[in-house]
Amino acid sequence: MAKASDARRVVVTGTGVITSIGLSVDDFWNSMKVSKCGVSELGGFPLEDLKILIAAQIKDFDPKVRLKHFKRDKLVMHADRYSWFAAAAADEAVKQSGLEFPIADPYRSACIVGSGAGGLVTFENSYRSLFIEGKRATHPLTLLRIIGSSASAHVGIEFGVKGPTFATCSACSTATHALGLARDYIRHGIVDVAIAGASESVINYGTMKAWQALHVLSPEGCFPFAKKRNGTVLAEGAGILVMESLEHAKERGAKILAELVGYGMSSDAKDMVNPDIEGPREAMRQALDESGLAPSDIEYLSAHGTATTINDVNETRAIKAVFGNHAKSLAISSTKSMHGHPLGAGGGLEAVVCIRTIDEGWVPPTIGLDEADPECDLDYIPNVGRDLKVNYAMSNSFAFGGLNAVVVFGPPPA
């Protein structure tokens, strides 16, 4: 992607997360510092004949507590779980940003909050009611709950966003595509402020059966890059950023957390399930090229790292192709080893990870990495995080269908 000479710089002023290892950014970060794992036994719905009985579920989230202060969005309490997560993460990010919403010109703001699956919990509960329990009707808000753009609409209503408001959907690259689109809207003057990221809540009987049929779930845990890895672990959660133009942030005296300096995206155009090397390599190359950085300038890489047999080897090879000799000294980790794989929301959580590494000079580990796969021979920060000065961090998101998106974050502009 060409770098426009008159494009505005885009900065991050707020972050918010909901995860299985923390219901706020601080709790999430502190959990990673002690290598906490959010994977546990499934619960909360009939397990029946399921063979995979673990997931990274969020078990202590109460929308009546987290969202009780919402004023404009009158229906959020009746929304699907994925919309609750998005609303709570967005609320945290907005509070940290210090922005007053609606902004002075609400048409100069955007809300791009994606989801790979939308309201699957509502889908399942509604179908159980109709086809198993024999009920004659579903809840009157069923349709609104299941729509994949409902989370963005709820967030947009609460914060009075009147500019572009919609959802992205690209499986496990959803959040990163949302961040990239929001960045472009700000960069090219369409809006000044954006709330962007993704949310996911898909853990139910039907979803678990569908993923079981694909044979990519582990019955034991999520162990990226490890010799013992045997599949990923489904998770739920949300990751949201507040982004704005550098000029807008400076004018209001905002504390800037990081700058989004590069973005790349590509499609393998080869296979729905099996990943390729060329597509991820090109997305990383584009992000580096647009940022104006050399490969050696990246100190930390948040890997897609799903712990599936093919993905981890392919990602390792793609990293080597892009970073050359620097790949051996590059600090890499997959935080999915701790918070599980939240599908479309993953890139949002991992963007927050990159921003915190820049701020704190500490990089999180890949836990469960007792013995690496011989074909995964890079520095994946095994088991315990480490102190490391990070100026530039990259986050990879690679999805089913060969849909790739990569972002690069840098320090707050001087």
How many independent structural domains does the chain possess? Answer: 2
Residue 204 shares a structural domain with residue 332: no
Instruction: State mean pLDDT over 70-94.
Output: 97
pLDDT interval class at 201 (50, 70, 90): very high
Among 224, 251, 278, residue at a domain's last position? 251
Residue 274 shares a structural domain with residue 246: no
Q: Is residue 1 domain-resident? A: no
pLDDT in tens, 315-356: 999 999 999 999 999 999 999 999 999 999 999 999 999 999
Residue 311 shares a structural domain with residue 388: yes
Residue 245 shares a structural domain with residue 287: no
Query: From start to end of 246-304, where are the E strands?
Result: 258-267, 300-302
pLDDT in tens, 113-140: 999 999 999 999 999 999 999 999 999 9
Residue 159 shares a structural domain with residue 286: no
Residue 124 shares a structural domain with residue 194: yes
Q: Is residue 257 domain-resident? A: no
- For 296, the token pair is 């050696």
Catalytic residues: 172, 304, 341
Residue 167 shares a structural domain with residue 206: yes
For 242, the 3-state DSSP assignment is: strand
Number of H helices, E strands in the chain: 13, 14
**Mean pLDDT for all residues in the chain:** 96
Q: Is residue 2 domain-resident? A: no
Query: The domain containing residue 100 runs over which residues?
Result: 10-251
Least Cα distance to 190 among 149, 248, 229, 270 occurs for 248
Residue 30 shares a structural domain with residue 172: yes
Q: Could you give the CA distance from residue 9 to residue 13 in angstroms, rounded to a whole number? A: 13
pLDDT interval class at 202 (50, 70, 90): very high
Residue 54 shares a structural domain with residue 168: yes
Q: CA 357 from chain center: how many Å? A: 16
Residue 77 in contact with residue 63, Cβ under 8 Å?
A: yes
Among 226, 251, 276, residue at a domain's last position? 251
pLDDT interval class at 1 (50, 70, 90): very low
pLDDT at 58 over 60: yes
Q: What is the CATH number of the domain that holds 77?
A: 3.40.47.10
Q: Is residue 258 domain-resident? A: no
**CA of 270: how far to CAs of 154, 273, 275, 317, in Å?**
36, 9, 8, 17
Q: Could you give the CA distance from residue 147 to residue 348 in angstroms, rounded to a whole number? A: 20
pLDDT interval class at 5 (50, 70, 90): low
Residue 280 in contact with residue 252, Cβ under 8 Å?
A: no
Phi, psi of 189 (to 5 degrees): 80, 15
Residue 311 shares a structural domain with residue 192: no
pLDDT in tens, 267-315: 999 999 988 999 999 999 999 999 999 999 999 999 999 999 999 999 9
Amino acid at 9: R
Among 221, 251, 281, residue at a domain's last position? 251
Residue 319 shares a structural domain with residue 348: yes
pTM of the model: 0.96
For 134, the 3-state DSSP assignment is: coil
pLDDT at 147 over 90: yes
Phi, psi of 234 (to 5 degrees): -65, 145
Residue 109 in contact with residue 190, Cβ under 8 Å?
A: no
Q: Is residue 333 domain-resident? A: yes
Residue 146 shares a structural domain with residue 278: no
Q: Is residue 256 domain-resident? A: no
